[in-house]
Amino acid sequence: MRHKKKTIKLGRTAEHRKALLANQVCSLIEHQRIKTTLAKAKAVRPLAERMVTLGKSGSIHARRTALATLRQKNAVKKLFNDIAPRSAERNGGYTRIVKLGQRTSDSAPMAFIEWVDMLEVVEAKPAEEKKTKRKKAEPKPERAEPEGAGLMEEEPAAEEKKPDEEKEKPAEAPTPAEEPEPKKRRWFGRKSSE
């Protein structure tokens, strides 16, 4: 019987498990929400809540203890400056685990682990990203036009030595170039009818 043995081992050595959990907590601090397996989410939760408790303390000793565990200065700074002050009124329960169902490849149960106080921030960001992607997609046709214009500029540059009459003819030439002839395609074993 495993009485009073709460360590979730995750099939890893102690060093590997500590590094995994520290990286998961750093990702949680950076992204506010991470998607992982349910077993890892349950293992990450106690460590994440312990780090927030250290952040609420705010002392130099607490900061050094958090840095010794997480090993990333940026994550510790964000934890102490941003996440811990938002959770100042709470006495625990800083994280939430949301079950997502099974992963298609190996049917492992998946879950989100997120900060309870960060729900509004997480929902606002994806809507903004989608808008920016749509704006970036629109300029693509504009970029195609300067490329075509660049081709027109190259042709007169090559023919600068020729008389002025011949320079006017290449301006008419690009119109047939815009309508390429349809390619003759051959299928396996068949000859084209054209």
Task: Give the span between the Cα atoms of 68 and 72, in whole angstroms.
Answer: 9
For the cut 70, the answer to whether the pLDDT of residue 38 exceeds it is yes
DSSP 162: S
Which residues face 158 on adjacent strands?
none
Domain spans in the chain, listed from the N-terminal domain onward = 14-118, 140-173
- Residue range 151-178: average pLDDT? 54
> What does the pLDDT read at residue 118?
80
**The CATH homologous superfamily of the domain defined by 14-118:** Ribosomal protein L17 (3.90.1030.10)
Task: Give the span between the Cα atoms of 83 and 28, in whole angstroms.
Answer: 11
CA distances from 11 to 14, 22, 37, 70, 97 (A): 10, 16, 13, 21, 21
Find all residues with CB under 8 Å of 165, minimum gap 6, and list them.
none
Give the pLDDT confidence of 102-130 residue by residue, as tens digits.
999 999 999 999 999 985 644 545 555 55
Task: Give the span between the Cα atoms of 45 and 93, in whole angstroms.
Answer: 9
For the cut 80, the answer to whether the pLDDT of residue 36 exceeds it is yes
- Average per-residue pLDDT for the chain: 80
Which residues face 37 on adjacent strands?
110
- What percent of the chain has a predicted confidence (pLDDT) above 90? 60
For the cut 60, the answer to whether the pLDDT of residue 176 exceeds it is no
Task: Give the span between the Cα atoms of 3 and 187, in whole angstroms.
Answer: 71
Q: How many residues does the chain have?
A: 194
For the cut 70, the answer to whether the pLDDT of residue 168 exceeds it is no
For the cut 70, the answer to whether the pLDDT of residue 75 exceeds it is yes
> What does the pLDDT read at residue 84?
95
Task: Give the span between the Cα atoms of 167 and 126, in whole angstroms.
Answer: 53
pTM (two decimals) = 0.61
Angle between helices 164-172 and 140-158 (to 10 degrees): 150
Task: Tell me which residue of 170, 173, 175, 145 sits closest to 158, measured CA to CA.
Answer: 170
For the cut 70, the answer to whether the pLDDT of residue 194 exceeds it is no
Give the pLDDT confidence of 148-160 residue by residue, as tens digits.
555 555 555 555 5
Q: Which amino acid belongs to residue 110? A: M
Neighbours of 113 (CB within 10 A): 24
